[in-house]
Structure formats: structure tokens, C-alpha cells
Amino acid sequence: MNVETIVKNAVKQAVSKLYGADLPENILQIQKTRKEFEGDYTFVVFPLLKISKKSPEITALEIGNELKSSCVEIEDFNIVKGFLNIRMKASLWMQLLNNCIRNKEYGFEKKNSSRKRIMLEYSSPNTNKPLHLGHVRNNLLGWSVAQILKACGHEVKMVNLVNDRGIHICKSMLAWQKFGKGETPESSEKKGDKLVGDYYVMFDREYKRQIEELKAGGVASDEAERTAPIFIEAQEMLRLWEAKDPTTIDLWKTMNEWVYEGFNQTYARLGISFDKIYYESNTYLLGKKIVEEGLQKNVFFTKDDGSVWIDLTADGLDQKLLLRSDGTSVYMTQDLGTAEQRQGEFHFDNMIYVVGNEQNYHFQVLKLILSKLGYTWATNIYHLSYGMVELPEGKMKSREGTVVDADELVEEMRRTAREMSEELGKLDEMSEQEAEETVNMIGLGALKYFILKVDPKKTMLFDPRESIDFNGNTGSFIQYAHARIKSILRKAEDFNAEMLVEIEPGEKERELIKLIADFPETLALAGLNYSPALIANYIYELVKSFNQFYHDFPILKEENCEKRRLRLALSAQIAEIIKRGMKLLGIDVPEKM
């Protein structure tokens, strides 16, 4: 039952009866009444004056009277200039709460008439470094958007494309050859992804040293970067890899396996999973085939050095490289091949790429190239662009080793959660196992919520010290509220969560029910906008309102049995929405704290 839809339909019928006109959707402005005014929904009358040919006040009065007499759900109205504030009957809100009690999947869309088949790619790590804070935002955002889309009734395939080839991989491999002395994850007691990442940093240091040495000998800066011996060796290693040199391939497989094992451990800690994992090493050749076809169609052209390009200057862009002069591919090459492969496998309605905003141009070009090649489905590609994560001390740089490691971050959040929980007595009367589970839940929940509450498009500043706070817009605040409600319900031994409410709600209860009524719409908007932030901030507002209600009104100590029953039912439904809403963010909530 959508209350706003009831109001819209009633207003349309009233306008038709009063003025003999169908109300166009673009001038039907209905919004929630602002808190400083009395009412539930507000109809903006001004756009209707050409139809009514009367003043705003008289038009509002006529419509209000008609609504009150013809719509059984409307109790009363008031007019503020050209705004008609409509108040719904208390029985309607009681009915909505009972519908919520009956529907165990309240807000989730099981039968979506616009159901789509969606492929969603996220994570997409490089196998030359461990996952860091930037990857954390990518993974949490991708996983959460997938859950939200599923809850909206869509079929979603969650996929990961591992960038396991290219010059950056060769840099780690070459550094290990030169400086590794046979070191392995076992011998070093390091996670494999961290070990390989160390060698990527090591390559960069040696590369910079060689550049400075060449510059000191009189070589220009640009030339020094191109001719540094270690960089030339890395380029040769990439050529050998594409030529399937056995020694190079064996080393590549070994070091990648180290990294995959490390990635899997991190994914498990974050609660992240995929339906399918693609590897760039398996898809880049598909892209090369598309490039050959594009050359035959004269969509692409070859330069004198043998490199292959596309000219997009007529589209307001520039020329884009597709194959280097030595025949090696670039990111665009493999993305073309991967997109075609996925369309063949899934026949998707939408293909969503969760990638940082530094790649906005890349995806603009990808869609354009696919369209020029004749792929009509290219228009259904969507780049879910998100802002970078910065720290109080500035940006992170992988090659310089100044990143916030994902595993270390999760562990730090866990430690901080324990310290703060112990200080506040949240773990008192828990067994050690319960305390450990709760600490992990709070630490990971704080991290996920702090990141997901920010609109994906915005660059965000991450400060671990601010993310765990039992007061404020944090995961911990919401988790504690859920535990508090569950504690109330446990104490109400005679409460049956499935019993319907038989008393009409008072003013404060109906405010909470109105917030409950917003959940389906919020979920739908989050799905349309690919924005977990809408869910996160809705839950926060719901919890804030409940906490204020809990402070001002008795629940367990309410003497009127029907009122007590109503308030317990409200509490139970709010706890359920908190639990299911937070689950869409990948966050668990404790039963007690």
C-alpha cells in the first residue's frame, strides 16, 4: 500500500470532478509535508491555476473539501497560501503497520514488471599489489548495489575482472627476479598479495634511482624515463609473456597464485563474493580479434609504426590507442573483448562497471567504440563512477607504498571497536566468543557504514577515529539501537510479533509509521540511482526518530495494554527494517550489546 499513490489518485479524481480536466503528471506536485506544518502530504496548487481559473486559496479549498468528502482515507486538510496540506486518517497508518507485520519481506520487490538482467562488475584488482582502502570502497559499493538491485526484483550477476597481465604485473615479476632471492609467502610469513606488492614498490624505487642517475649524466627527463634499463627489461618481459615464453609464464602463474590466495582472504574478511571471475589474461585476445574486425570495417586505422588507433575527434574526443606498435594490447582492447563475451553469455539488459571516477573518459570511449562497431547493446553500459577515498594526510600512492592496506584497516577497526566497546561496557555479561563476534560485527559495520553512507559520486575523507562512535551517523549507533530494541522485545515475554494491531496510533506513533512507509520508496530510489547512501541515511533517520520516541514515551511500562502492544509492534518492525536495510549494506546487527 503506497499512501502517496492513494493521495495522487484522489487528487486526480478531485480535479477531474471539479474542473473537468485530466491532471497532467508534470504538474501533479505532491510531497511530504514539512515538519513545521500540520499534515502528511502537501499538494502544490499553483501549477493548477490555469485549469481552475481561481485564486490559489480558493482552488486549494475546493480540492480539499472534495478530497475530504470523497476519499475515505483522508481525515482533514489545511491551506497555507497555495499549498494544500492533507492529513490522512489514523486508521490508514494502523492498516499500513499491520500490512508490514503480515509481510515478512516488506519493501522488497518479488514480482517486478520491469525486471532486468543486470551484470555488475566490481573489485577489478591488479595482481601487483594487495587490496587497499580505495579497493574497499569499490568492493563495498559493488556488493551493496548488487544486493539492492536484487531486492528491487532484478536478476544480478556479480562479476570480477582480475587485471592479471600487463606492464605493472611485469614490474613486480622483474623486481622479484632481481631482488627476491627465492622469497615466498611461506618463507617470509607474508600474505602473497602483500609480498608481490612489496616488489612493485621495490621496482619503482629502483626505476627512480636509475632515472636520476641518467639525468645526472645529462639525459633529458622524458628520455630517462623511457630508457632506464629496468623499464626496458619490464617491457621486454611483457613481450615475452605475450609470446608465451615458458619461463616467463611459469613465474607469472606462481606469483599470481600468491596474490589470489591473499585476495581471497581479504574478500572473506569483507564478506565479498562473486558469481564469476574473469581474468584479463583470458580476455585480451578477444579484444585483439575485435580490433582486427574494426580494421576491416575501417573503424580503426594503423599508424606508420604499426600501432592501431581510432579517431574520435569528430565526436569531440581524441585519438585512442588500441594496439601498441609491438602488438601488445591496452586496457581498452581487453574491455572490448570482455564486453562482447559477457553479452554473449548473459544477454544483459544493463552492464554496470563500478570503477573510480578517474576512468570516466575510458568508459565514455568504450561505449562509443562499441557503438561504432555496430553493437546496439553498447547503450546499456553504465559506468558507476565513484569518488576517491582520501585520508586526513592526503592521497594514497600504491607505487610509493603509502596506501592503507585493507587487511590492516579491518584489523584496526576491530581493535578500535573492542577498545570503545569495553570502555562503554557494551561487552559486559558476554562470553568471550560473543564478545569477539560482536567486536568483529561492530568494527566491520563501522567501516562499511562510514564508506557507504557517502554518495558514491563524492570524494570522501576516511578517518577511522570518526567511524566508530555510538552517537552520531555511524554503523555503531545503528547497531546499538537494534540491540536495544531486541532487548526490549526479549523483556516483553507476552509479546507476539505476528499479532495485528487493533488500536489507532497516536501522533508520535504515526510519525514512526510514516517513516516505515518510506522504506519501499527509499529502496526503489536506491536501486534507480545505484546508491547505498540512500539506504544508509534512511536507516539513520529511522533510528534517530525511534530513539527520540523511546526517550519520550514508555514502551514496556505503558499501562494501557493496547498502546503497549502498538509500541512493541512498532519497535519490532523498526528492528526488522534496520536488520534488512543494514544487510543490504553488507552489515550485520547484534541481538544484544
**Residue 392's pLDDT is what?**
67
Residue 326 has pLDDT above 70, yes or no: yes
The answer to whether residue 398 scores a pLDDT higher than 50 is: no
Residue intervals of the chain classified under CATH 3.30.1360.70 are: 3-88
In three-state form (DSSP H/G/I as H, E/B as E, the rest C), the secondary structure along 109-141 is CCCCCCCCEEEEECCCCECCCCCEHHHHHHHHH
Q: How far apart are CA 558 and CA 556, in angstroms?
A: 6
Q: What is the pTM of this model?
A: 0.91
What's the confidence (pLDDT) of residue 393? 61
Residue 402: pLDDT over 60: no
Whether the pLDDT of residue 394 is over 60: the answer is no
Average pLDDT value over all residues in the chain:
92
Identify the weakest region by mean pLDDT among 380-384, 402-406, 574-578: 402-406
> Regarding predicted confidence, which is higher, 420 or 585?
585
Three-state DSSP at 530 gives coil
93 and 505 Cβ atoms separated by less than 8 Å: yes
CA 559 to chain CA centroid, nearest Å: 44
Q: How confident is the model at residue 263 (pLDDT cuts 50, 70, 90)?
A: very high
102-128 tens-digit pLDDT: 998 898 987 777 899 999 999 999 999
pLDDT above 50 for 396? no
CA distance 49 to 535: 37
Q: What is the pLDDT of residue 532?
A: 98
Name the CATH superfamily housing domain 406-584: Isoleucyl-tRNA Synthetase; Domain 1 (1.10.730.10)
pLDDT on residue 399:
43
Residue 133 pLDDT > 90, yes or no?
no
C-alpha span between 243 and 326 (Å, rounded): 11
Reported as a single tens digit per residue, the pLDDT across 48-94 is 999 999 999 999 999 999 999 999 999 999 999 889 999 999 999 99
101 pLDDT higher than 70: yes
Instruction: Tell me which residue of 300, 370, 292, 284 sits closest to 334, measured CA to CA.
Output: 284
Q: Does the pLDDT value for residue 401 go beyond 50?
A: no
Q: Which CATH superfamily is domain 122-390 in?
A: HUPs (3.40.50.620)
- In the chain, which segments carry CATH 1.10.730.10? 406-584
Residue at grid coordinates 515478512: 104
- pLDDT tens by residue, 425-482: 878 878 888 888 888 999 999 999 999 999 999 988 877 667 766 678 899 999 999 9
Reply yes or no on whether the pLDDT at 509 is more than 90.
Answer: yes
Of 463 and 411, the structure prediction assigns the larger pLDDT to 411
495: left (phi over 0), alpha (psi -120 to 50) or beta: beta
Span(s) in the chain for CATH 3.40.50.620 = 122-390
Query: DSSP assignment of 75-89, as one string?
Result: EEEEEETTEEEEEE-
Task: Look at residue 420 in the predicted model and tell me its pLDDT.
Answer: 80
Which has more pLDDT, 324 or 328?
324
What gap in Å lies between CA 235 and CA 332, rounded to an integer?
Answer: 19
pLDDT tens per residue across span 187-236: 999 999 999 999 999 999 999 999 999 999 999 999 999 999 999 999 99
Does pLDDT of 143 surpass 90?
yes
CATH superfamily of 3-88: Arginyl tRNA synthetase N-terminal domain (3.30.1360.70)
Specify the pLDDT at position 470.
66
CB 60 within 8 A of CB 84: yes
Lowest mean pLDDT among 26-30, 119-123, 395-399, 474-478: 395-399
